[in-house]
Structures are given as structure tokens and as C-alpha cells.
Amino acid sequence: MEAAFFDLDKTVISKSSSLALSKPFYRAGLVSRSTLLKGAYAQLVYLLLGADEKKMDKAKDGMLALSKGWDRAQVEEVVREALIQVVDPYVYQEAMDLIALHRALGRTVYIVSSSPEEVVKPLAEHLGIRDVIATRAEIVDGKYTGNLEFYCYAENKAVAIRDVASRAGIDLSASYAYSDSATDLPMLEAVGNPVPVNPDRELRKVAEREGWQVRDFRRPVPLRKRLHVPRPTPSMAAVVAGAGLAAVVGWVYVRPWLSRLVSGRKAA
């Protein structure tokens, strides 16, 4: 069995999933206005400069402190309600095409992210993906404690992938991995087919040195615009064409009568 492992942020979607949800969390009363503004600034920095280990550790510590005492059920509800407006418009069409291709070839698709499970799982399900590997927060009596059970970042992504592969019988040497960041090098190196996507500077250098294929995704397209619209069947086309012809013929015959009627009213 083979698999394809996709990083989430800036690989499947064009922004940080956790930071993108700061506004819905604010509306739900989970974060303050100042935190919301900091989130917007962090999003800008993330898009322009990427996320190195220092930034990721800072973001992780800040999120843990912020989420302490939150109710897990409420967080999941906020995420699900916000998916269409907040995340869906930023999904890369190229990523969805690749995911569809891997599935067609019989590979299992995984979303692998340092974001919390409560964010990653609903998002993956929204994209039609069942299997995820993500950060797990410690929860007691339905509330976040401010600690982590598992931090899905850097080497830990590779550890989790190898564990999943061992349990599911996945041949990693024939599998694929996609990511944008050099911090995910352990994940990319865990498979036989590593593919940097929108790589940061350091990862691009590694890709050039190793001769890896590089992909650049540029087309975020909302899911509703990706829905398949069936082409008309021959019978449907005939009906439409017939209706169009009837309308033209009807207009040819009715138009002179309408002209006389209008002229008569004007004369009256």
C-alpha cells in the first residue's frame, strides 16, 4: 500500500489555518481584540517570511497559553461553522487535483499538520479527506489544560508518519510527501518521493541540491467553484436546441403582429 502525505498550511491552503480562525474565535468570545490584531500581523509575517523553528515555538507557546480552559466542543463548533467563509476560499486547486490523482492511483491521502486536531480534522473532512496526523492538546473534562500530548512538528511529523505506515502497512519508499517548509525536511525525507510545494528559501536550496521535483501552487479556488457541472446529454441538448428554435420561429411570426398592435395603440 502507498500513501501521499500533505502538509496543510501553504501547501493545501494558502494561509495558516490556525491564524485564519482567529476572527471566528474572537466572535465566539474566545480571544480578545488585541489577540485578533496580533493574529493578523502574524499572518502577514507568515505569508511573507514563512515560519522557522523559533517562530513556530513562539506561536505554539502563545496558543497553549491562550487556549487554556477553552471548551473542546465549542472550539470544534466554531471551526466547523467558519470553514466555508474562512478556509475554503484559500484551498489550492492544484492541491485538490493532486489529491484526486493520488486517490485514483489507489493511494491513501493524509493531511499532516502542526495545527491542532480540532482544526485539522474538520478541515480535512470538508475536503473529503478522512486521515489526519496533527497536534494533540491535553484535555481534561472536555477543557484544554494548556499542555500538549503530541506536538506534530519537524521530526515529530516523520515519527508519526513512520508509526502510521507501520500500523497500516504503507510502503514509504513508494509514497509521496508535500510541504512548503524546511522545518518539514524530516517528513519529506521519510518517503521515497519528496515534493516541495511553494518552498521557502532553505527548502528550495535543498530541493535543487537533491534534484527534487518542485511544485508552485498559485490558484486558490473556493470549493463551490470546483463543483462538477454535468455536461448536457444529447437528449437534453436536443430539447434545449428545439426550445431555442421554437423561440426564434415564434418571434418571427409574432413580431409583425406586435408591431401592428403597437402602431394601432399609438394612432388611437
Instruction: Kindly give the confidence (pLDDT) of every residue in the chain, 268 residues in length, as a single tens digit, with 9 standing for 90 and above.
Output: 999 999 999 999 998 776 767 777 778 787 766 665 555 445 444 444 455 556 556 565 666 656 778 888 888 888 888 887 878 888 999 999 999 999 999 999 999 998 889 889 999 998 999 999 999 989 999 998 888 899 999 999 999 999 999 999 999 999 999 999 999 999 999 999 999 999 999 999 999 999 999 999 998 877 655 544 333 344 333 333 333 333 333 333 334 433 443 344 444 4
Q: Which amino acid, residue 44?
A: L
Its pTM stands at 0.74
* Pairing label, strands 143-150, 131-140: antiparallel
Name the grid cell of 181. 517548509
Q: Is the Cα dihedral 28, 33, 39, 41 positive or negative? A: positive
> Which set of grid coordinates corresponds to residue 162?
513512520
Cβ atoms within 10 Å of 51's Cβ, excluding its own: 23
Which of 7, 180, 184, 200 is catalytic? The answer is 7
Going by their DSSP bridges, the two strands 176-179 and 131-140 should be labelled as unpaired
Let me know if 171 is a catalytic residue.
Answer: no
Q: Where are the domains of the chain?
A: 3-225, 235-267
**Catalytic option among 9, 88, 184, 200:** 9
CATH class of 3-225: alpha beta
Among the listed residues 47, 19, 43, the one whose alpha carbon sits nearest the alpha carbon of residue 31: 19
Active site residue 9: yes
CA proximity to 43, closest of 63, 14, 72:
14
Q: Which three cell numbers stand for residue 220?
A: 486558490
Q: What angle do CA 235, 236, 242 make, to 5 degrees?
A: 90
